[in-house]
Amino acid sequence: MRAPPDLIEHLPRLRRYARALTRDSGRADDLVQDTLERALARLDRWQPGSDLRAWLFTLMHNLFVNQIRARGAQETVIDDAPDQPVSGGQFEALVARDIHAALGHLPEAQREVLLLVGLEQFGYAEAAQVLGVPIGTVMSRLARARENMRRMLAAESAVTLRRVK
C-alpha cells in the first residue's frame, strides 16, 4: 500500500504534540520519526477514507506510553525556563513560560487530553479514540486538567505584599 499523499501535512501537528508530550525537542523528533516508521510499517492497517490524523496521533500516543513504561518511572519535570530577568515588553513570553511549566506539572493523562482537545482541536470522540478511553473519561480528565491549570496559573500570578510600617 502506498503512503497517503497528505501524510506530510500532518508533520507539524505531530511534532507540536510530541514536543508538548516530551518537553524536549530531540526526544520529540525521535517520537515523530518512530511514529512515522510505525505508520509506514503498518499502513495496511489504516483504512483509506478514515481520519489519518487521528490514526497517526493514536500511534504516537501508544509509542509515548510504551516509552514511559519502558523507563519504569514517571518522568521528572524539567523546568527549562530561564531564571534571568526579562526586559520590558516580554509579558507574552512570560505567560507562555508559565503555561508550559504548568503543563509540565499536570499528570500525563490530563496533559494528553488537554493537548489533544485544546491545542490540536480534537473533538471529545476523536480524543477518546486516540487515547483508547471512553468519552466520559476524556471529559473528566479535561475538566480536571483545566482546573489544575487554573489553580497553578493563579498561584503563579498571586503576589504576596508585606505591609511596611
Q: Which CATH number is 33's domain given?
A: 1.10.1740.10
Q: Let me know whether 68 and 98 are in one domain.
A: no
Q: For position 35, what pLDDT does the model report? A: 92
pLDDT digits (tens, 9 = 90+) for 91-116: 666 667 777 788 888 898 999 999 89
Q: Let me know whether 68 and 100 are in one domain.
A: no
Q: Let me know whether 151 and 107 are in one domain.
A: yes
| Distance set, CA 139 to CA 50, 54, 109, 149 (Å) | 23, 18, 12, 15
Q: Is the pLDDT reported for residue 8 higher than 60? A: yes
| Distance set, CA 88 to CA 57, 92, 93, 101, 107 (Å) | 39, 11, 11, 21, 33
Report the number of distinct structural domains present in the chain. Answer: 2
How many whole angstroms separate alpha carbon 46 and alpha carbon 38? 11
Global pTM? 0.56
How many whole angstroms separate alpha carbon 14 and alpha carbon 31? 9
Whether residue 95 is contained in a domain is answered as yes
* Least confident among 32-41, 60-69, 150-159: 150-159
| Distance set, CA 72 to CA 27, 62, 106, 137 (Å) | 17, 15, 19, 24
How many whole angstroms separate alpha carbon 60 and alpha carbon 82? 29
pLDDT digits (tens, 9 = 90+) for 11-25: 888 998 898 888 888
Q: Let me know whether 30 and 95 are in one domain.
A: no
Q: Is the pLDDT reported for residue 71 higher than 70? A: yes
Whether residue 14 is contained in a domain is answered as yes
Q: Let me know whether 6 and 69 are in one domain.
A: yes
Q: Let me know whether 120 and 150 are in one domain.
A: yes
Whether residue 3 is contained in a domain is answered as yes
What value does the mean pLDDT take over residues 60-86?
67
Q: For position 76, what pLDDT does the model report? A: 47
Range of 148's domain? Answer: 87-158
